[in-house]
A = this chain, B = another copy of it.
């Protein structure tokens, strides 16, 4: 089996800590290691470094290799440009298939946080087992903890195996819902968060791609002979830009009848914004959190600070997010964390590319 780490994100929501050259997965947002390093290290009991394949952007490949010296350089696959997850997962499956078409690919995002590692590993084992035994695409569906409007949902069908981690049929996929719909999903007990974590045998995914995304299948077939050879980079540079840009969920899973979902109950966060990471940092009695460095909060509540090791002094302020890096200071209200994108857009408009 191979662990395919999807490390293609540009991480604009953590700007200014995350940048074009230093996306979220390479940041140390919790603990002492980057999210990417934590992702690979927590897989240790299931897969050694020679079973790890990282798919990332060309601009991040060096950073990935530096952070993961234990992973062979040739197993960091650099996309010359982003082509969404169907292409990335397909590329990884094609690479794995050259070594062993029957090998299971366990596909995991590089930038999520897992807080219950033993349950996480047990759930993954079940997914790998299923993918090995059947010609199916296995997705992990997280038990919703609140009516999230920021995630897609998997509607589950018949329960195929009651023993936890439970296995179910997939009845359908739903886009990010409105709040009222999300509340219904939460009550239904049949809807799970679409986690972006999958397991399948390389040849099973490639067959499904051939069925539902023939353009992608053609491109991958063209790429295959060069994978793992010195001509890989040139072939990617030539062929990758022509691949269709679509997610593996939309492009393959939603169209396939050969699906299973493993219900996942481990503690999880997609660390989607400064507010999300703030839940993981220690808070003072007034709910102020500070990632690093000392915090002196006077008459201040609910603030989230990442100040690069500085002493932060807050006086009479409430529910702000403040981030300081070597070259940027960002301040915004906590409830507007999702709008960091507006700042990115504005930087682009003004040609301030050095800050992206």
Contact = CB atoms under 8 A, between A and B. Distances in A.
Contacts of A296: 343, 346-347, 350, 352
Contacts of A313: 16, 328-332, 343, 347
Interface stretch (A84-92, A162-170, A317-325): A317-325
Nearest to A337: B315
A315 B294 contact: no
A342 interface: yes
Nearest to A335: B316
Contact of A294 (B326, B331, B352): B352
A343 B330 CA distance: 22
Contacts of A327: 310-311
A165 to B, nearest CB: 41
Q: How many copies does the complex hold?
A: 2
A339 B314 CA distance: 11
Contact of A322 (B303, B329, B336): B329
Contacts of A137: none
Highest count of chain B CB atoms <10 Å: which of A312, A315, A352: A315
Contacts of A63: none
Given A296-B350, A347-B296, A317 B320 contact: yes
Contacts of A312: 328-331
A310 B328 contact: yes
A248 to B, nearest CB: 33
A241 interface: no
Contacts of A320: 317, 320, 331
Contacts of A307: 329
Contacts of A282: none
A239 interface: no
Nearest to A330: B313
A321 to B, nearest CB: 9
A317 B303 CA distance: 13
A303 B317 CA distance: 13
Interface of A: 16, 294, 296, 298, 303, 305, 307, 310-317, 320, 322, 324-333, 336, 339-340, 342-343, 346-347, 350, 352, 355
